[in-house]
Amino acid sequence: MTSESAKCIAPTGAKRTRFRERPAYAEGLWDLGHDLYAWMVPNGSWGESNSGLLVGKGQSLLVDTLWDLRHTQTMLDAMGPLLREAPLHLLVNTHADGDHFWGNQLVEGVKSLTSAAARAEMEFHKPRSMLAFRRLGGFLKLAPVTSAQRVGHWFESMCLPYAFDEVKHTPAVETFTGTIWREIGGRKVQLIEVGPAHTSGDLMVYVPDAKTLFAGDILFIGSTPVMWAGPVENWLNALDLILGLDVETIVPGHGPVTNKDGVRRVKSYWEYVRGAARRCHEEKRSVAAAAHHIVTGPEFLALPFAKWDSPERMMTNVHVLYRQFDGRGGHLSVAAKINLMRKQALLAYALPGAAPALMRRIDASL
């Protein structure tokens, strides 16, 4: 089965996305063929992440959980008939972002695995951080300054579809580095560490007998990728690695099932952004001025990825690229991250036609 013939076998019936957009594809459990499945969440915006399921003889492997318990439980319920025949044997978390592991407590008795770098980073990604982010958004919405109200609305809107207060921080237990193989119910699966790129410890799950790859957040399809760690060259190398694999069906971390054409589009995005950011850096533009210049410029607007969800993520991408150009690395402080997200929120209001629409309309509400 190819990406074009994947079909939704257990739709949730949702008529709108979590951000009230028209869904580009059905939310629910998709059959990829070869006893492989993907839990797909349109349209791939904040927390609208995908998961995967491999079914072997009497055992199964789950690739990622979701951002909160309610959404993770809905996914596990849909997978129930499959899991009764082949109980979960292994959970693999592709990286440390909460929308890929905060549902882990619902399968806490299952062996869990991630890269060593991702496991270390998971300590910095706890539910209380998003609860504080939401509270800050609510406070800023009440400020008498329009710019603060806009930032507050953007912060709060990102969080409102999710119940972070119910989540118990449950990071993966076992770790690995490099590339390893695991056997699940007679099927061999390759775990490939490719980070730091999107985050410090990205990994992908390759199922060679089905020519299928679960790419995690190395791939965003129809949704603007965001680089929290870098360097961008590692991300480009990971995309080249995918292009060299014998693979036909690829499940991204966000967005619809794709193939190598989707990989090439993401590669084109990063090549363009790296070049544009380099030129702005040489012109001594600030990060905020560079991001605004790039994402509102006629050259960018003429390109296909200008129509992708959340183009304001350019702010974060330029920030990380500038740090790379300046030879700086390491974790950002909490205050630095919040300030970066503040700038990203303000850029969203310079892009009123982008999705999700409600996150850039101060009069909108979930």
* Domain ranges for the chain: 3-125+165-259
CB contact burial 39-62 (16+ within 10 A = b; e otherwise): bbbbbbbbbbbbbbbbbbeebbbb
pLDDT of residue 1: 41
Tokens of 269: 């995005």
What's the pLDDT tens digit per position in 136-165? 999 999 999 999 999 999 999 999 999 999
Q: What is the mean pLDDT of the chain?
A: 96
Instruction: Tell me which residue of 46, 57, 54 sits closest to 17, measured CA to CA.
Output: 46
| 8 Å CB contact between 309 and 45 | yes
- Give the count of alpha carbons within 13 A of 35, CB side only: 20
Mean of the pLDDT values across residues 310-339? 91
Q: Which long-range contacts (CB under 8 A, 24 or more apart) does 146-154 make?
A: 146/362, 147/346, 149/362, 150/345, 150/346, 150/349, 150/362, 151/342, 151/345, 151/346, 153/359, 153/361, 153/362, 153/364, 154/344, 154/345, 154/348, 154/359, 154/360
Mean of the pLDDT values across residues 300-309? 96
Q: Is it the case that residue 364 has pLDDT exceeding 80?
A: no
Q: Is it the case that residue 29 has pLDDT exceeding 50?
A: yes
Mean of the pLDDT values across residues 180-184? 98
Q: Is it the case that residue 123 has pLDDT exceeding 90?
A: yes
Inter-CA distances, 27 with 22, 36, 167, Å: 11, 17, 22
Domain 3-125+165-259, CATH number (from 3.60.15.10, 3.40.190.10, 1.10.3720.10, 3.40.50.261): 3.60.15.10
**Which are the contacts of 215, defined by CB distance < 8 A and separation ≥ 6?**
94, 204, 242, 250, 251, 252, 253
What's the pLDDT tens digit per position in 204-252? 999 999 999 999 999 999 999 999 999 999 999 999 999 999 999 999 9
What's the pLDDT tens digit per position in 327-338? 997 777 778 889
Beta-strand relationship, 179-184 and 174-176: unpaired
Distance CA 22, CA 3 (A): 21
What's the pLDDT tens digit per position in 259-287? 999 999 999 999 999 999 999 999 999 99
Mean of the pLDDT values across residues 50-55? 98
- CA angle (212 as vertex; 210, 216 as ends), nearest 5: 150
| 8 Å CB contact between 305 and 269 | yes
Distance CA 230, CA 207 (A): 26
pLDDT of residue 336: 86
Q: Is the pTM of this model over 0.85?
A: yes
What's the pLDDT tens digit per position in 35-47? 999 999 999 999 9
